[in-house]
Each structure stands twice: as C-alpha cells, then as structure tokens.
A and B are shown apart, each in its own frame.
Chain A
C-alpha cells in the first residue's frame, strides 16, 4: 500500500471519527443533537430595521438546507426579498450563501471550514447549539474598522424551525428578521 493511499485512508478515518463524535456526542444538558437540525425548510419572514438596502422591503421568502458534510455540517440558505404590495412578483432580490462547519474542541461549537482572519479583512464564521437552537454567526470588519455581526438563530419547532436573524454594526442593531419555516420532505 502506497504512503499516499495510507495517508488518505487515515484522513478519511479521522474525519469519520470527528463527525461520529459530533453526531453521537451526548447532549449536554438539553442540547439538541446536531442531526436534529438536518433537513430542508421553506418559509417566510418579516424584516425590521433601518438598513437602506432593505428600506421598504418587509417580506422575504426563506429557504434553508442543513445537511451532514464530510467533517460536520453545511448550511445553505436562500433569501428572496419582495415588496409587501408586490407579492405577484417576488423576485426583487435573491441572495444565497453556503457555509460548512467542522467541530471544535469546545462542545457544541463549530468553526466554518473557510473561516478567515478577521484583521486581514476576512470573514470569520462559527456556529453553536444551545438548547433547541442552532445559531450561525458571520463577522467581518470593514476597511475603517467597523464590525458587522450577522447571527442566524434557528430554533427547532413542531413543524420546522423558527428563524431570528440579527445584523449588528458597531453595537447598533440595524436589521432583524423573524420567520417561520416548515420542514420540507
């Protein structure tokens, strides 16, 4: 067996063990297991805030897919913004993003595989499970040193998940979104 092949098998085994540990980790207190969040969810939300980009936009269609990945899990979310009085033509602005997370040494805390260096102008991203909620955080610094933190808290409900999104800039909450998403089989 070649050294390369041995290393590859070793890497696969380590990743499998890490994923197994994350999935099978006994729930600390009442923490939901990671696998409880896996699924596809579809719903809608309401925006509040003073962000000029979203002025006049109060409704948004939400779509999220949380699934197992090689080393942890990935979250893909799509948002379609539409005007309240323009429901017949909802494709005003469509945004989509995906982040993949791997377990860390800290229980129920995950780090984005591509999390960068904040002070180099790169995004850092992490996630945590607390109770029935999986929260994803994205943080960046702009060129002037102002910080932006976006958090997506997704809480398991009887029919799917409830979303509470918040965008904070330099300590000021500039936009929030609350929504309900149903599990889509």
Chain B
C-alpha cells in the first residue's frame, strides 16, 4: 500500500505541476487584462484639452427635489459661454427659473454669473482669478470669515467647478458644477450638487447644446 502511495505522490505532483503550467498563461492573461484595464482607466481619466469646452451653449436642467425636503421639481433654462482667458478660461452663465413651466409670468427668476479661472502654476487645477482693486491691490481670501474659494479642474471629459463657503454658523457648503462634453463635442451634460455639512442637499441635472454665437 505504501509502495502505491510512493508511486502516486510523484504523479500527483507532476499532474499539479502540469496543471499550474497550463494555468500560468491564463493567470498571466488575467494580469495582462488587469493591467490593460488599469491603463484603460488611466486613459479614461486623461483630461481633454481645455479648448475643447470653448463655445456657447443653451439648454435646460431640472432640479430634483431631495427626499423629505418638501421641494418641487423646477425647470431651469440655461445659457452658458466658455471662452479662453489668458492660460485659463472665462465662464458666463445665465439661469432662468420658470414658474409652472412658464417664463412669461410673474415670479420668474434670472441669475447671471461670470467667473474667470487661471491655471495654477503648481497644481493640476485652475483657481479663480483675483480681482485687483485700484488702490488696495489684491486682498487675501479669508474662507473662515465667509469669503468663497473657487477652483476648477478637468478630469476626463468633465470640467468641474467647485465653490467652498463657510456659513456664519461654521457649517460648510461645497457647490460643484460638472460639465461633461459629449464625444462629438456637440453638447454638455450638466450636473450640480451641493454638499452641506457632509450631506448632499441639492442636485440639478440637465443638458445644453452647442450653438452658433450670432454677432
């Protein structure tokens, strides 16, 4: 019996060895796949050129009410212009909040905003260009006193703009606008979220299409 065992064990080892040898290419294949998947992710994360976003867009968005907020869905008309400014960009947008789907009745709100971002020399993001006062020059931002801090970045095909503010009671708000360029460059998917003291309390999503800017 023991003799049989002595013969069987080498065979078992041989079979196991052959099995492992057969599995090796498969294992290497998995490693290769994993490596290529990582490379794919890295490729997907590669930021597109800033200039790809330059253009004029019009469209709309819906504010989705957060559960338990008591808010109702709102439609907003959007008008966005992104254009070059030095080594950064200028973004101008207008939001019109309709009343019961109409924009020709009392209560319609219009908000217009313009921001200029410059490429940061040391980091992979853009920072809001600081306004230079004629007499005081530039003044330091004191975020904890309530001054907003804004920065922007490009990840993949998405241009994100973040704004941090700290309220008078010490809670914080981070508002993030993500504008993702479609593969054909003809439109931007818009996603907005507001993080208020560790919880997201507002989301807006929509789409704008590139239009020809008439003089």
Residues on A lying within 8 angstroms of B by beta carbon are 104-106, 108-109, 111, 115, 117-121, 124, 126-128, 130, 135, 137, 139, 141, 143-145, 147, 149, 151, 166, 168, 170-171, 173
- From A108, A145, A151, give the contact of B153 (CB < 8 A): A145
Chain B residues 147 to 196 lying within 8 A of chain A, measured CB to CB, are: 149, 151-153, 155, 160, 162, 164, 166, 168-172, 174, 176, 193, 195
Stretch touching chain A among B10-18, B22-30, B102-110, B120-128:
B120-128
Q: What residues of chain A lie closer than 8 Å to B170, measured between beta carbons?
A: 106, 108-109, 126-128, 130, 135, 137
- Please give the distance in Å from B157's CB to the nearest CB on chain A: 15
- B169 and A121 within 8 A (CB): no
- Please give the distance in Å from B8's CB to the nearest CB on chain A: 38
- Please give the distance in Å from B102's CB to the nearest CB on chain A: 33
Interface size in chain B (residues, C-beta < 8 A): 32
- B174 and A109 within 8 A (CB): no
- A111 and B144 within 8 A (CB): yes
A-B contact count (CB 8 A): 81
Q: What residues of chain A lie closer than 8 Å to B174, measured between beta carbons?
A: 147, 149, 171
- From A108, A141, A168, give the contact of B123 (CB < 8 A): A141
Residues on B lying within 8 angstroms of A by beta carbon are 120, 122-125, 127, 141, 143-146, 149, 151-153, 155, 160, 162, 164, 166, 168-172, 174, 176, 193, 195, 197-198, 200
- Please give the distance in Å from B83's CB to the nearest CB on chain A: 21
- From A124, A128, A143, A170, give the contact of B171 (CB < 8 A): A128
- Decide: A168 near B149, CB < 8 A? Known: A109-B169, A128-B171, A143-B123: no
- A108 and B169 within 8 A (CB): yes
- Please give the distance in Å from B140's CB to the nearest CB on chain A: 8
Residue from B143, B144, B160, B197 having most chain A Cβ neighbours under 10 A? B144
Q: What residues of chain A lie closer than 8 Å to B193, measured between beta carbons?
A: 171
- From A108, A118, A135, give the contact of B143 (CB < 8 A): A118
- B145 and A106 within 8 A (CB): yes
- From A104, A137, A141, give the contact of B151 (CB < 8 A): A141
- B155 and A144 within 8 A (CB): yes
- A145 and B198 within 8 A (CB): no
Q: What residues of chain A lie closer than 8 Å to B143, measured between beta carbons?
A: 118, 124
